[in-house]
Chains A and B, each alone.
Chain A
Amino acid sequence: QVQLQESGPGLVKPSETLSLTCAVSGYSISSGYYWGWIRQPPGKGLEWIGSIYHSGSTYYNPSLKSRVTISVDTSKNQFSLKLSSVTAADTAVYYCARSALERYFDYWGQGTLVTVSS
């Protein structure tokens, strides 16, 4: 059974960089699939942030592209998100998920709430 688990600080100061890691178990990232980040502000809908292929190629939401970096560490079977210059608008539950070639997300982490506040 594929499992994903997000980890990282729950509180980030404005203008700083949000960093999260997603540990994957039950499947080797290097075997394939895309691995993505999705967020959900409190009481709002889902927003895709970006995804990375097991080879390391990335694609990002154009609206966040200038601030986002997603990387993969196949030796640790995990991938990471960095979002720079955060503001209160970046406060959200952040999910990591696996996506198939057709870009649907079949396995999700439980999500982690990140609050941007001084």
Chain B
Amino acid sequence: DVKVTQSSRYLVKRTGEKVFLECVQDMDHENMFWYRQDPGLGLRLIYFSYDVKMKEKGDIPEGYSVSREKKERFSLILESASTNQTSMYLCASRRILDTEAFFGQGTRLTVV
């Protein structure tokens, strides 16, 4: 069974903290993605990576950075968390770009 695992289901962080969200996939997929999902705004792409050490900005990269040092792991970093980054964060991976994505279970981040 294919799997995308996010390190936390729920996180509460303080404004200004540096936050790391980790994602690991066991499918040997080249492509990995970070989305955030907010009511009424749907899924919005933050960053994606098509290879180790490669990254591309998505639609809303401001305030975020990413790291992909190994093929199976893609990390999302909130450099200085703010309350408007309170959201559900979803990691996904795909083998090639015209195939389906597999999503993790999501991380509900609350910034107070």
| Genuine A/B complex | no
- List the interface of chain A (C-beta within 8 A of B): none
